[in-house]
Chain A
């Protein structure tokens, strides 16, 4: 005889009763895998200096996150992978020549200030790694603009060489990574391998990178610059595929993503061509991060079957 099962022995959570296997943590780790080719290329080209910078930025990020979460008494923990991603990204956008304490301070700022003072995971407005870098550039400009060739000699970046001396770097060097620059931005091939992985696994949406890169391409052409050069020089590819696609700090709607990418593209071109900075990616993305809440509001989706009718009274605050 089937016994009567009383309440409390049966689980009565609400529908749906099945869920997809993806978790936030898995997504973070996929992003890290996507960053591995660029990381490996950076270490290959810039050797122990690069390894030191990346290790420092990652460890500093994890430690800062651990301490802050304890202080905030939050249920999240460092295992969710978000601090690891921030630390790795920051390391990749630093010059291999920076001293270890620059990498550490950048991570601490990124995690403690750019992320947690805004509310922690999911609540920050600005990309923490980029914010960390902006802090470093503003505070130690000389150290942050000292670049190395792969043989260890000092150099300027391809964008710097173009702006200040009119020297154009060959496509071959740009694509392979045989240039000076941030640890992760030099090898276009490595970045693209990781980017394609993330696109195929649907971790990142194509809209932002394509509209960002497309805008840069078209507008550099309009301003009589070499569009292919601008594609592969500087931090555009790394920024477009790994920073501008950060979920938290970019628009949530499809239309919004296209607008965001377009805005980043315009700003990058303006900064690269008409400002005294050789590179514009970092500031472009940070500025568009600030515009994201507004973009989301303006691209609010209408439901299926939406009709513009006499305004139905909505409930008013009592």
Chain B
């Protein structure tokens, strides 16, 4: 079975793997930050007091690397204010109060004759629908589907690995909408015209593998699109490791991208969002997330983008114990939130509530055991980078390839001295990038 070097076997805790996705009722109010993607933030095209309909574009940008934002509800814009944000301290956001009518905007309607659409038209539809990578990074999809001419793409991979513990949203979408995912993939292949097409799924999701393989058979696509069964290991879903496991190609370090080896990777939910946009005219206004951990009812939920966490927790009947953390994402790379007022944004894959644990283990001296080096999927030396970071010797930290770290957390997970390695490496990366910017602007 294809696998990569390093990584960890983690307890899966896929508590919600059998729970059918529920649709959460429309929230009273949605908070839509103007920054929900990599690239330039959007500027609002509505103002306070405006009435909006479901699917209406409310913010856009003139930059290429950006994606517009749409209203997931019908109602009134009650303000454009600074609001809490899952990954930034806070961000300017459009607040919309829902009138519960869910009137659809005219731009959202089913489309006929998909086959006649050209590559450019498809890209435009994807852009106009505000689709970004739903695996978490939220990179504008139309940009990924417009690689520079010199980068010839011959392989497209759909990422159905979902290697983080607890999260099952991608799994459920694969089980419940296999045909839409495949049709979305076909749109991607129409645009990029690759030779090879894969859907990578970890082997702890046998039913998803089975259902996709059977759908591909029904649709007569088994020789064009191959489902690849991957060894369940964290972080199998990380782009570089996924590409290596499936194609044995190595994405260059220090700024290399999948397109440098002729590959484009998209998350399975992104593929479904592409289907929704092209076939149904639906922009990205909702997504499936997993709500799990210390909540009374754990669920896979279809939520409107912008739904506040409070409302979601209430829908899940509240917390089970005194809570310690509300994590957006999985336990390995997720971000612990400061308040429960924070909204779901396009890249949010789940809410993991962690009860308070007995006092966190104290950090002690590094004993040079080398476990961090053994598990790093990028073959780095985390303890060395962390030590240089502590001494503020960022030059040396860069020499030890700090910038190649994608913060998967494997090192800090295994460290017996409980050293917050990822935190220290992050600091080094920030400083190195900051100094680089300073020098390039001098």
- Please give the residue numbers on chain A whose beta carbons come within 8 Å of chain B beta carbons, in ascending order: 1-2, 4-7, 10-20, 22-24, 26-27, 75-76, 80, 120-123, 205, 247-248, 250, 252-254, 300-307, 312-317
* Residues of A close to B117: CB separation below 8 A: none
Neighbour of B369 across the interface among A1, A12, A27, CB < 8 A? A27
Find B367's partner among A6, A75, A121 (CB 8 Å cutoff). Answer: A121
Q: With A301-B373, A301-B379 in contact, is A16–B412 under 8 Å at CB?
A: yes
The contact sample of 15 A-B pairs, CB cut-off 8 A, is: A10-B325, A10-B336, A12-B336, A13-B360, A15-B407, A16-B409, A19-B412, A23-B361, A24-B364, A122-B366, A205-B370, A247-B368, A252-B383, A302-B379, A317-B395
Is B339 a contact partner of A15 (Cβ separation < 8 A)?
Answer: no
A304 touching B240, Cβ below 8 Å = yes
List B residues 187-220 near A (Cβ within 8 Å). Answer: none
By a CB distance below 8 angstroms, the chain B residues around A123 are: 365
Report the Cα distance A248→B356, complex, angstroms.
Answer: 34
The 3 A-B residue pairs with the shortest CB-CB distance in the complex, in nearest-first order? A16-B409, A305-B253, A122-B365
Closest-CB distance, B192 to chain A (whole angstroms):
22
Task: Determine the residue in chain A with the shortest Cβ distance to B254.
Answer: A312
Chain A residues near B370 (CB-CB < 8 A): 205, 247, 252-253
Whether A19 touches B364, Cβ cut-off 8 Å, given contacts A2-B310, A2-B318, is: no
Do the beta carbons of A11 and B379 come within 8 Å of each other?
A: no
Chain A residue nearest to B314 (CB atoms) is A2
Taking a contact as CB atoms under 8 Å apart, the answer to whether B365 and A120 are in contact is yes
Could you say which residues of chain B place their CB within 8 Å of the CB of A11? Answer: 324-325, 336, 356
Query: CA–CA, A13 to B363, complex, Å?
Result: 13
Q: Which chain A residue shows the least CB distance to B251?
A: A305
Min distance, Cβ B43 to any Cβ of chain A, angstroms: 29
- Chain A residues with Cβ under 8 A from B310's Cβ? 2, 4
State the CA gap A254–B413 with chains docked (Å): 20
Q: Are A24 and B401 in contact (CB under 8 A)?
A: no
4 further A-B contacts with Cβ under 8 Å, apart from A18-B10, A19-B361, A315-B439, are: A15-B333, A252-B383, A304-B379, A315-B398
Alpha-carbon separation in the docked complex, A205 to B301 (Å)? 45
Complex-state Cα separation, A15 to B235, whole angstroms: 14
Contacting residue for A14 out of B338, B398, B418, B422, CB 8 A: B422
- Interfacial chain B residues near A16, Cβ < 8 Å: 331-333, 409, 412-413, 422
Cβ contacts under 8 Å, A1 to chain B: 314
Contact in complex: B338, A304 (CB < 8 Å): no
Partner of B417, one of A5, A24, A120: A24
A14: chain B residues at CB < 8 Å are 336, 420, 422-423, 426
Chain A residues with CB under 8 Å of B250's CB are 304-305
Interface residue tally on B, bucketed by range: 35 or more
Please state if B422 and A22 are interface contacts (CB–CB under 8 Å): no
* Residue B162 CB within 8 A of the other chain: no
A19 to B354, CA, bound (A): 13
Inter-subunit contact B252/A19 (CB<8 Å): no
Contacts of A304 in B (CB 8 A): 5, 240, 244, 250, 253, 377-379, 404
Tell me if B49 counts as interface (CB < 8 A to partner A).
no
Residues from 380 to 433 in B contacting A, C-beta threshold 8 Å:
380-381, 383-384, 394-395, 398-401, 404, 407, 409, 412-418, 420, 422-423, 426, 432
When the two chains form their complex, are residues B336 and A248 in contact, meaning their CB atoms are under 8 A apart? no
CA distance A121 to B354 in the complex (A): 33
Q: How far is the CB of B248 from chain A (nearest CB, A)?
A: 12
A307-B401 Cα distance, complex, nearest whole Å: 12
Q: Once the chains are docked, how many angstroms separate the CA of A317 from the CA of B431?
A: 12
* Contact pattern, B 347-375, Cβ under 8 Å of A = 1, otherwise 0: 00000101010001110111111100100
Q: Could you say which residues of chain A place their CB within 8 Å of the CB of B334?
A: 15, 17
Contacts of B364 in A (CB 8 A): 24, 76, 80, 121
Q: How far is the CA of A38 from the CA of B29 in the complex (A)?
A: 69
Q: Is A6 a contact partner of B336 (Cβ separation < 8 A)?
A: no
B274: min CB distance to chain A, Å: 28
A residues within 8 A CB of B151?
Answer: none
- B323 at the A/B interface (Cβ < 8 Å)? yes
Minimal beta-carbon separation of B54 from chain A (angstroms)? 25
Kindly state whether residue B327 has any CB partner on chain A within 8 Å: yes
**B412 proximity list for chain A (CB < 8 A):** 15-16, 19
List of B residues within 8 angstroms of A250 by Cβ: 368
